[in-house]
Amino acid sequence: MTKRLEPTVDLALARDHGLTDGEYAHILELLGRTPSYSELGIFSVMWAEHCSYKSSKNHLKTLPTEAEHVLQGPGENAGAVAIGDGLAVIFKIESHNHPSFVEPKQGAATGVGGILRDIFTMGARPVASLDSIRFGPLEDPKHQFLLRGVVNGIGGYGNPVGVATVGGETFFHPCYAGNILVNAFNLGVVEADRIFLGSATGVGNPVIYAGSKTGRDGIHGASLLASAEFDETSEAKRPTVQCGDPFTEKCLIEACLELMKTDAIVGIQDMGAAGLTCSSFEMASRAGSGIEMDLDRVPQRETDMTPYELLLSESQERMLLVCSDGREAEVQAVFEKWDLDAAVVGRVTDDGRMRVRWHGETVVDIPVDPVAESAPVIDRPQREPVELRERQKLDLAATAPEDDPRAALEALLATPNLASKRWVYRQYDQLVQANTLIGPGGDAALVRVRRPDGELTDKAVALSVDCNPRWCWLDPFSGTVAAVAEATRNVACTGARPLALTNCLNFGNPEKPEIMWQFAEAVRGLAHAAEKLGTPIVSGNVSFYNETAGSAIYPTPTIAAVGLLDSCENYAASVFPEVGLAVVLLGETREELGGSEWLALRRGTEAGVPPSVDLDHELRLQGLLAAGVKNGWIRNAHDVADGGLAVALAECCFGSDGPGVGVHVTLDEALRPEVLLFGESTGRVVVGTSQPEELLAAARAAGVPASVLGETGGDRLRVDRPGGRAWIESPQADLYDLWSNAIPRRLEEAS
């Protein structure tokens, strides 16, 4: 072994590590000495925004996180919610934005791998994934490259590891030109009394490293890549992006779940951001314990690695676990069976310190709590953007009315944001494990629940992920409320009852008061909506510094909702299933065009106040949807969202592989045509029913406005004014071609 000379630790080096002058002074005060190089590295990653949540922690404390069915809320690897019959679902959404911009395939792939480990580390078998991905304009060759790479990475990891990708969203906007978003969600199923936590308890218990060997990939991914703005040097950060291996991950899943059937494991956590450092400090912090480690025992795939590199490496497919004393050989035998490394690297102590040795020399000796749980928290200043009130101004009277509704509908269906995402999701395995009832393309995915032994139950879980960043840019509070309402409404459209939420809060540089104000307002909206709808937030992630050369993304608080269908005998998809159904609109259309796709596409402006959200109405509507599906009054249900009612009706006519059942409706002329057809008022759902009287009576009883618009049938979409004059009449085949081929056409034209 060649001993490498370590740099001298001083203020300049601390700054290079992303630490502030005040933070370095605090480190000197805590230790009473200058930190070693390895200790400096530990502080830099653990106090970085990505790991410490120092700018967001105080705000996140205001979120509702508890309910009778919540078994585990924020603070662990993922959230856990009881679904009855002794079962629970574990779920979370996380970001892998910066790595995916620097290296799209591996960045996205390791994002999927990381969220899978968050789920199975708690004892659950991962069964369903969602992705929320956002890019700059699709006409930009760079973003075509990024889209292809990200989709390749998601499919290239999720498919071979054997977890279905059942839904998601894909969005394009210039605000993401310098900073794309890749948010990955996963859900697993577990016996409610077999949930494992990431806690290092039991003095003397062995600490075991398991999985892949450690290399130099990913060093400082959490601190210098994920916790800083992008600039002209960003491309040089490619070496900080990890490389994933889904086949090793599959073995790791099976080995961990096999061990979890025993009582050998005391605590377990994946090595994600900040690798061995973060996992060991967080496990000790949760238990109020300490750990002593010998780094020379860590399995390594590169020569002459230093303690600093071993501690900060973010090599993938690795776990850290604590087992009962004397059970080491049993644990190692299981990992060996699955051809994975497993080595005892340390012991749990009772002194609250992390002591790390390297060939007998102590290279780290620092207290756990100040590094982890009690890491510095910053109450950053906030200021409403001075231009906000100006961008919220929209004079509808001065906005030119839509003079060609058919052309407007065709243009909206052909824009990448509203067009079919089939090109994306056809590259994902949607059916592996044979649980998928509703896959990508609808309002929400629906996945049948199996017990851990493989036995099918009657239950199903519904999953949806949503955010309208344009609305959040115009009003972060109401935009986030709308995202919660839409995610839960989409879940309810299947007939499921919304249970809980997870979130991925994507924002710019929190050191700017305007960005911090956006974040605080979004969290306030999230708390308000979640409390009102009875859907606690059980897990989540904050991603700051999504900003390049001073230009931030639009606020993007991505919300994922999970709901429960007690019996999957009755559920609703989004498309019209047959001819002769009455088409009913639940909810009311209001004179709202602010932040709409029509306004952006047809009038070239992003302005106005986003549509209002009535959460009391949402509760009544979602209850009606569940009752209507259960009782058979509702055959299909589709949320009216981006693009408005005309787009929603067209989407109801599109099958998975071609044009479906047509529709003929008549709309009142009480509002302007563009408002009626393309306004995006919230709280509306288009449903098909063979029992309209029963549905209308139930809607009246529930206090939900409802009106019969027309009937399904034919081979075209026709939207009439009163008196039979058509606003829109178009063959479904023509509309379907525009909608289904919008993304492939753009990609083919560029190649």
d(CA 86, CA 69): 12
pLDDT at site 50: 87
Q: Mean pLDDT, to the nearest integer, of 407-413?
A: 98
185 near 136, Cβ under 8 Å? no
At residue 749, the pLDDT reads: 83
| Amino acid identity, position 393 | K
pLDDT tens-digit readout, 412-421: 999 999 999 9
Q: Give the model confidence (pLDDT) of 190-245 as tens digits.
A: 999 999 999 999 999 999 999 999 998 878 755 455 555 655 554 554 455 778 89
Residue 453: which residues within 8 A CB-CB, separation 6 or more?
A: none
638 is catalytic: no
- In our burial notation (b when 16+ CB lie closer than 10 A, e otherwise), range 619-646 reads bbbbebbbbbbbeebbbbbbbbbbbbbb
Residue ranges per structural domain of the chain: 48-192+434-569, 196-371, 572-751
Closest alpha carbon to 345 in 302, 400, 403, 298: 298
Residue 3's pLDDT is 58
239-257 CB burial, b ≥16 within 10 A, e <16? ebbbebbbebbbbbbbbbb
What band does 273 get if pLDDT is binned at 50, 70 and 90?
A: confident
Mean pLDDT of 494-508: 98
The domain 196-371 is placed in CATH, from the list 3.30.70.1140, 3.40.50.1100, 3.20.20.70, 3.90.650.10, at 3.90.650.10
Structure tokens at 682: 């919230």
Residue 751 pLDDT level (bands cut at 50, 70, 90) = low
Active-site option among 17, 50, 98, 173: 50
Q: Label residue 1 by pLDDT band (50, 70, 90).
A: very low
> pLDDT tens for residues 688-704?
999 999 999 999 999 99
Q: For the domain 572-751, what is the CATH code?
A: 3.90.650.10
* Strand residue runs (E) in 122-264: 125-135, 164-172, 181-191, 206-211
CB neighbours of 691 closer than 8 A, spacing ≥ 6? 632, 633
pLDDT at 74 over 70: yes
How many of the other CB atoms lie within 10 Å of CB of 119?
A: 29
* Joined tokens for residue 179: 């900073």
pLDDT tens across 583-601, in order?
A: 999 999 999 999 999 999 9
pLDDT at 479 over 60: yes
- Cα separation, 118 vs 137, in Å, equals 32
For residue 229, what pLDDT is reported? 63
Which residue from 516, 500, 585 is spatially nearest to 552, judged by alpha carbons?
516
CA distance 270 to 198: 9
User: Is 359 considered catalytic here?
Assistant: no
Say yes or no to pLDDT of 104 above 90.
yes
Percent of the chain with pLDDT over 70: 97
Q: Higher model confidence: residue 223 or residue 735?
A: 735
Lowest average pLDDT, out of 36-40, 274-278, 653-657, goes to 653-657
Choosing from 59, 96, 98, 638, the catalytic residue is 96
**Average pLDDT of the chain?**
94
The count of other CB atoms within 10 Å of the CB of residue 148 is 16
Q: Taking a C-beta distance cutoff of 8 angstroms, is the pair 291, 348 a contact? A: yes
The reported pLDDT for the residue numbered 238 is: 47
Residue 669's pLDDT band (cuts 50, 70, 90): confident
Is residue 308 pLDDT above 60, yes or no? yes
Interatomic CA distance for residues 484 and 525, integer angstroms: 9
Give Cα 81 to chain centroid, integer Å. 17
Whether residue 352 has pLDDT greater than 70: yes
Between helix 328-337 and helix 246-259 the angle, nearest 10°, is 140
Q: What's the average model confidence in pLDDT over 416-437?
A: 95
Closest by CA position to 740, among listed 406, 416, 407, 405: 416
Helix, coil or strand: residue 465: strand
For 663, phi then psi, to 5°, come to -155, 150
Mean pLDDT on 41-48: 95
pLDDT tens per residue across span 121-166: 999 999 999 999 999 999 999 999 999 999 999 999 999 999 999 9
Q: What's the half-sphere exposure (Cβ side, CA atoms, 13 Å) at 129? A: 37
3-state secondary structure of 628: helix
Place of tokens 């502080």: 43
Count how many Cα atoms sit within 13 Å of the Cα of residue 360 in the half-sphere of its side chain. Answer: 0
Residues near 140 by Cβ (< 8 Å), separated by ≥ 6?
A: 177
Q: Tell me: pLDDT of 620 over 90.
A: yes
Domains 48-192+434-569 and 196-371 share a fold: no
Q: For residues 372 and 284, is the Cβ–Cβ distance under 8 A?
A: yes
Query: Could you tell me the two tokens for 556?
Result: 């993007």
Helix residue ranges per DSSP H, 4-48:
11-16, 21-31, 37-46
The confidence score (pLDDT) of residue 693 equals: 96
**Taking residues 666-673, what's their average pLDDT?**
89
Domain 48-192+434-569: which topology?
60s Ribosomal Protein L30; Chain: A; (3.30.1330)
Tell me, what's the pLDDT at 223? 47
Asked if 484 contacts 531 with a C-beta cutoff of 8 angstroms, the reply is no
- pLDDT for 397: 87
Angular region, 168: left φ>0, alpha ψ -120 to 50, beta rest: left
Indicate the range of 235-249, 481-495, 550-564, 735-749 predicted with least confidence: 235-249
Give the separation between CA 643 and CA 639, rounded to whole angstroms.
11
* Count of beta carbons in the 10 Å neighbourhood of residue 318: 26
Q: Which residues contact 279 (CB under 8 A, 6 or more apart)?
A: 198, 269, 270, 271, 272, 320
Chain centroid to CA 174: 21
130/549 Cα distance (integer angstroms): 30
pLDDT for res 658: 87
Backbone angles phi, psi at 322, to 5 degrees: -115, 130
**Structure tokens that stand for 747 in this block:** 């990609």
Question: What is the reported pLDDT for 570?
Answer: 92
> From its phi and psi, is residue 525 left (phi > 0), alpha (psi between -120 and 50) or beta?
alpha
